Structure 1
Amino acid sequence: MSIVVTGATGHLGRLIVESLLSRGVPADGIVALGRDTGRLADVAERGVTVRRADYDDPESLRAAFAGAEKLVYVSGDELGRRVEQARNVIAAATEAGVGLIAYTSITKADTSSLILAKEHYAIEQEIAASGLPYVLLRNSWYLENYTPQIPTYLEYGIAGAAGDGRVSAATRADFAEAAAAVVTTDGHANQTYELGGASFTLTELAEELSRQTGRAVTYTDLPEEKYVEVLVGAGVPADFAAVLADGDRGLALGELAVEGDDLARLIGRAPVTLAEALRAAL
């Protein structure tokens, strides 16, 4: 029996595999899945079982889930297709007799108005209706949504449509550690966790970046439509720009702010803060 991690070629899935290893799960008890198994050669060399799996290929999922005791289901990134893909995953997990599905969802999926939340909540409902034990890991934004943009921020400042809204962002590694925790410890079946770190506004992001670099960085708040124009002008595809701007709209409404300390309790420490993440990135 094993712990299966989908999307292991992506940033979060790979970190979940690493977290499982660091928690002492034997390498041969972990199955890392991806469409391109060549990208998993390094973990295969460490003894992790690597299998091909494609959310659009039910047969590949059935083969990949064989012998799975627990499944960490990292959500796909194809908007408009994720619910159909989730049905394939759930059907294969049911056939394999998986004992627990841990799904990486989004903050306040059941009440959020975000474009991204609609599919996540639909998938949560599909999982709950399956009858399989589950854990819903409702992740807020990644701090890595911001840290790679530091050179742009330093040159042009920060633009957005988030107003004074607060976002409880945390690192991918901390979210990955939480996922590893729920599949390696007991007492999580049929639980929902709202996960996030210490919250901040985009103005506070600008202020902290200014403090650490000694350069004046400001946040410019824009109407959502204008922010879409700015993103498209910077080369972001229009559809994705609309999703990003919608994320800021939800941020302004408090839909990415997390109350409580679920993340800290699961990982056993305070999550990495904005200041720490900026310092590391710099």
Structure 2
Amino acid sequence: MGKIIITGASGNFGNAAARQLLEHVPAEDLILLSRTPEKLAEFDQLGAQVRRADFDDPASLAAATEGGESMLLISTLRVGTRVQQHQNAVDAAVANGVRHIVYTSIIAGGEADHPSIEQHDHYATEQLIQRSGAEWTHLRDSLYAEAVATAMAIPALQAGSKPDNAADGKVAIVSRDDCVASAVGVLTQEGHGNRAYDITGPELISIPEAVAMISEMAGKPIELIPVDDEGMYQYFDTLGVPRRASDIVPDGPIPWASEGMVTFGQSIREGYFAVRSDDVERITGRPPRSLRSVLEQYQGAWPQ
């Protein structure tokens, strides 16, 4: 199988993937990359190779990807400006002989005509990986249930209302746990080269239905306020969120831009996320978690 590189290994996804991989491979077969390698001290002590890597510094990536056979490329957070970061990582990995790149993409990541700013990044990255000469696997993840259970649920319960521009568009909301398990499966099994998988939850549900589930479980009313895309931008304006990725203040309090969220809602409304598959179960051998099970997991953090 060879050594496995994980980019962004100190983040939520990368850290969870590293932990799961330790159940399948020896620690010395893991190469864990991070801008803050000190956060990975426990893996270093177990025998994994922990290396500093900065996606904006190709020289650091050239050294960090040496000796790897496969790489889990976890998409960076800089929506709108991250394709060059991904290109830097792919170029360095391929130059060092990495033969298989597994990428965390998004539902409909292979469609050229798509309204979501986030998807534009993923589409461009899928294309550059396919041109790289390495084998590829695209894991097209749906909307994270954990984001619904926290970033969506908590402000909605605090305010008693939630503006939304996704209308009745459906999405098979998926647990990050299942996304991680699918990535680990692809990295540790044969036969996944040059394939794309739709990593989804078990049921298609609309955002209003998800909000109603949160309200029912919390025993608190949430008024869903349908708005158009401009109304959604104005809502994020009141929270101090920059509209464009280029307006993000480096190391500022809000590391994301509302254009990603607004166009994400638009793409749900227009049907781009209405995809449900059995790929999670086929890769992991178990059915994906339901949205309700993830909401129950985080319910203790909701405002009373």
The question of 1:200 aligning with 2:205 is answered yes
* 2:145 equivalent to 1:171: no
1:21-170 alignment runs, 5 A limit = 21-22=22-23, 24-111=24-111, 112-149=114-151, 150-156=153-159, 157-170=161-174
Percent of aligned pairs sharing the same letter: 33
Supply the RMSD in Å over aligned alpha carbons.
1.5
Measured against aligned partners, the alpha-carbon deviations of 1:1-20 in whole angstroms (never above 9, x if no partner) come to 41000011211111111221
DSSP-derived class of the 1:110 partner: coil
Question: For each residue in 1:29-53, what CA deviation from the matched residue of structure 2 results, as whole angstroms up to 9, or x when unmatched?
Answer: 1111111111212322333221011
Of 99-108 and 84-93, deviating more is: 84-93
Q: For the residues of structure 2 that align with 1:152 and 1:85, how far apart are their CA atoms?
A: 32
Aligned to 2:11: 10
Who is 2:214 aligned against?
Answer: 209
Give the alignment partner of residue 254 of structure 1, picking from 261, 267, 271: 271
Counterpart position of 1:243:
260
Give the Cα separation in 1 of the matches to 2:289 and 2:11: 21
Query: Greater CA deviation, 132-141 or 13-22?
Result: 13-22
Q: Which TM-score applies when normalising by structure 2?
A: 0.88
1:230 aligned to 204, 220, 235, which one? Answer: 235
Answering whether residue 21 of structure 2 is matched by residue 20 of structure 1, we say yes
1:106 Cα shift?
1.1
Q: Secondary structure at 1:259's aligned position in 2?
A: coil
Residues 1:242 and 1:83: Cα distance change in structure 2 (over 3 Å): closer
CA gap of 1:218–1:266, structure 2 versus 1, over 3 A, is: farther
**Contact 2:3-2:30 at 8 Å conserved across structures:** yes
Tell me the TM-score normalized by structure 1: 0.94
Greater CA deviation, 191-200 or 83-92? 83-92
> Are 1:191 and 2:217 matched, yes or no?
no
Could you list the runs of 5+ residues in structure 1 that have no partner in the other structure? Answer: none
State the alpha-carbon separation in 1 of the partners of residues 80 and 241 from structure 2: 19
* 1:5 counterpart letter in structure 2: I
C-alpha distance in 2, partners of 1:147/1:119?
A: 25
Secondary structure at 2:22 match in 1: helix
Task: Please state how far the C-alpha of 1:218 moved relative to its aligned partner.
Answer: 3.2
After TM superposition, give the deviation of residue 221 of structure 1 in Å.
1.4
Per-residue deviation, 1:201: 0.9
Amino acid at match of 2:194: N
Q: Which amino acid aligns with 1:263?
A: V
Change (3 A) 1:159 1:43: farther
C-alpha offsets along residues 136-185 of structure 1, whole Å, 9 cap, x if unaligned? 11111111222113332223223210000112221222111111110100
1:178 aligned partner, one-letter code: S
1:242: how far off?
2.1
